[in-house]
């Protein structure tokens, strides 16, 4: 009896009429560069397991790092020329002087364009505090304001003869030709370039008790804060003792009270804030800086280079502010053998240069 046999061609049962897809997949196996041995020929070791675990951890770490780097927003800097002219800029200040009463402290601004702002009013405020930083009065005082001298309301409102016209004691009188308060007499002296040395001989100061009030404040401290609007040019801001005025085209300060023997003044200070323009998240290099001078006659200078900065956020908002770098300089200006101090004693000066 004859037998019926079936023949397989190319691994496909020709009798079943199958397609050639299985044959193509079988041919792909020829290109497997990592052929797997049978389980009977595999040897599993601890070293191999360690390599597998370590390599897996490295792969996961690199993958996570790359994802984090891709997801994180990056600030891309670019340099541009500022084409603005005759623009203004705010300088934000908050400084505490621990051994300097508010009545003795003045703030002045000068720039290369010739603009001077002496005894800054309105935008800067003085707050009387003790040497530990505790508040002594709740009401803030504006620099340059007559009320800032601490004259009580009942004294300021003291009824005077309507025809009363106080003497200016030889100083340059205001438009009204009268100096009815101690402050107005001081201003008249400043316009004349004179030092205000003997308030007890001035009727207005005696009436207001000026000397007694100054004695009660002699051991106080002062916090000055606010903002100053300046031109975008090179200039300086300085804190100095005594009222400032112009004398023979020179900027001078009345140091009579600062040099008084009963005063233990110095310019120990803390800069709580110094920024230019709108506030930003940048950490400014002078924030929280504290300086303690070794002597009464000691000055500090901070040379600041300001660079305008425009920040454009992904949500479309934009912030125009400034960044700066600083170089510090300290100088002992103690007078020798009765001579005058070398420079301004007790001065804290911020010299700023604007770069755009």
Q: How many DSSP H helices and E strands does the chain contain?
A: 6, 16
Most confident of 32-41, 118-127, 251-260: 118-127
User: pTM for the complete prediction?
Assistant: 0.67
The structural domain count of the chain equals 1
Compute the average pLDDT of residues 273-299: 86
Q: Which residue has the tokens 């800086």?
A: 289
Is 250 a domain residue? yes
* Parent domain of 235: 88-149+218-355
The mean per-residue pLDDT over the stretch 282-295 comes to 88
Mean pLDDT across 133-138? 76
Does 123 reside within a domain?
yes
Q: 67 lies in a domain? A: no
Q: Examine residue 75 and state whether it is found in any structural domain, yes or no.
A: no
- Beta carbons within 8 Å of 331's beta carbon, 6+ residues apart: 298, 299, 301, 342, 343
* Element spanning 198, H or E: none
In a domain, 280, yes or no: yes
Of residues 75 and 295, more confidence is placed in: 295
User: How far apart, in whole angstroms, are the C-alpha atoms of residue 341 and residue 13?
Assistant: 113
Residue 100 has pLDDT above 70, yes or no: yes
CB 141 within 8 Å of CB 148: yes
């Amino acid at each position: 009896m004859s037998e019926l046999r079936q023949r397989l061609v190319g691994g496909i049962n020709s009798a079943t009429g199958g397609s050639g897809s299985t044959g193509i997949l079988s041919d792909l196996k020829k290109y497997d560069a990592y052929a797997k041995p049978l389980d009977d020929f595999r040897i599993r070791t601890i070293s191999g397991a360690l390599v597998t675990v370590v390599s897996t951890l490295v792969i996961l770490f690199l993958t996570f790092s790359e994802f984090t780097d891709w997801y994180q927003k990056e600030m891309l800097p670019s340099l541009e020329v500022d084409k603005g002219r005759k623009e203004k800029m705010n300088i934000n200040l908050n400084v505490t002087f621990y051994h300097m009463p508010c009545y003795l402290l003045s703030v002045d601004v000068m720039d290369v364009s010739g603009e001077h702002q002496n005894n800054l009013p309105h935008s800067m405020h003085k707050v009387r505090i003790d040497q530990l930083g505790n508040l002594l009065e709740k009401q803030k005082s504006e620099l340059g304001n007559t009320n800032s001298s601490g004259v009580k309301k009942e004294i300021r409102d003291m009824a005077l003869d309507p025809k009363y016209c106080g003497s200016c004691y030889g100083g340059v009188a205001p438009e009204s030709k009268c100096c009815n308060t101690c402050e107005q007499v001081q201003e008249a002296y400043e316009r004349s370039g004179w030092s205000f040395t003997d308030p007890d001989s001035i009727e207005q100061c005696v009436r207001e008790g000026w000397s007694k009030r100054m004695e009660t404040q002699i051991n106080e401290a002062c916090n000055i804060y606010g903002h100053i609007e300046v031109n975008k040019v090179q200039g300086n801001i300085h804190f100095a003792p005594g009222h400032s005025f112009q004398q023979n085209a020179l900027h001078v300060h009345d140091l009579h009270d600062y040099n008084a023997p009963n005063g233990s003044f110095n310019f120990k200070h803390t800069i709580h804030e110094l920024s230019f323009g709108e506030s930003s998240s940048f950490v400014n290099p002078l924030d929280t800086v504290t300086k303690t001078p070794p002597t009464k006659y000691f000055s500090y200078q901070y040379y600041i280079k300001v660079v305008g900065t425009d920040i454009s956020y992904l949500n479309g908002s934009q912030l125009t502010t400034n960044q700066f770098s600083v170089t510090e300089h300290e100088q002992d200006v103690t007078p020798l053998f009765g001579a005058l101090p070398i420079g301004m004693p007790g001065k804290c000066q911020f010299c700023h240069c604007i770069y755009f």
